[in-house]
Structure 1
């Protein structure tokens, strides 16, 4: 699985003009399931996101997690994180998980993260409009394939 994590002051996602998910200070997590990903990987990624120390401590160092600071997360599915840009100019997405598998893994990730911190979500498969104020800016890329 892949995740792009942004520390935010606030974030929201709209579908057809209506807010379907939002968070105040915390994390915006864009998530993509890849072919071959498993529920165990979704669980491992959720645990990693919850423990990732990217919030400032009293000394101003990134030393606290979203759990430590009592913040929340907005989790949004984004299959374009599977983009293969090695050849040509048009990204390919053939390595993304099939839609039914991707939905199940996305929901599993959100559920597991939600057991650790407050979570709101986007709408899987919808045309979403995401707004955010990146805090820092802090943006972190996680790919479970890198953890082997």
Structure 2
């Protein structure tokens, strides 16, 4: 699994010209699911992501988690995080999870996140999406190989 986590002041996602997800302050997360990922993998990554202290406290230090700032969460499936560009100029995606498995695991992550975060918005699995965000900082963290 690979997560690209961006601290945002706002973020949105559109599919077919329609706004399908929008958040204010919080985390916009691109979720890449690999062939070997499981529910246990998703649980571990979700726990780590939600515990990250990447929001500023009153002294300007990054000491606060998403829950501490009552932040919102936007999860967007992104198989291209598994692009392998070692050979040639056309990326290979063979390490990405298959569509059926990846969709199930993405939906599982959404449901688990909703148990812990009051506002969870999502993209649409497999859709051509347009993502807009205002990265706060900018502050971006990549989680992989946990």
Give me the TM-score of the superposition, normalised by structure 1. 0.95
- Report the equivalent of 2:68: 68
How far apart are 1:11 and its partner, in Å?
A: 0.4
Q: RMSD of the TM alignment (CA)?
A: 0.8
- Report the equivalent of 1:35: 35
Rounded to whole Å, the distance in 2 between the matches of 1:110 and 1:138 is 23
Contact 1:20 1:122 in 2 (8 A): yes
Segments of structure 2 that go 5 or more residues without pairing to the other structure are: none
- Report the equivalent of 2:129: 128
Rounded to whole Å, the distance in 1 between the matches of 2:85 and 2:113 is 30
How far apart are 1:43 and its partner, in Å?
A: 1.1
SS in 1 for 2:45: helix
How far apart are 1:16 and its partner, in Å?
A: 1.1
SS in 2 for 1:141: strand
Q: Deviations over 1:13-52 (max 9, x none)?
A: 0011110011001000000110011011111111111111
- Report the equivalent of 2:45: 45
The count of aligned residue pairs is 145
Rounded to whole Å, the distance in 2 between the matches of 1:44 and 1:114 is 16
Q: Which runs of 4+ in 1 moved over 6 A?
A: none
Segments of structure 1 that go 5 or more residues without pairing to the other structure are: none
Q: Deviations over 1:63-119 (max 9, x none)?
A: 111111100110000000001112221111000000000001111112212211121
Rounded to whole Å, the distance in 2 between the matches of 1:116 and 1:50 is 9
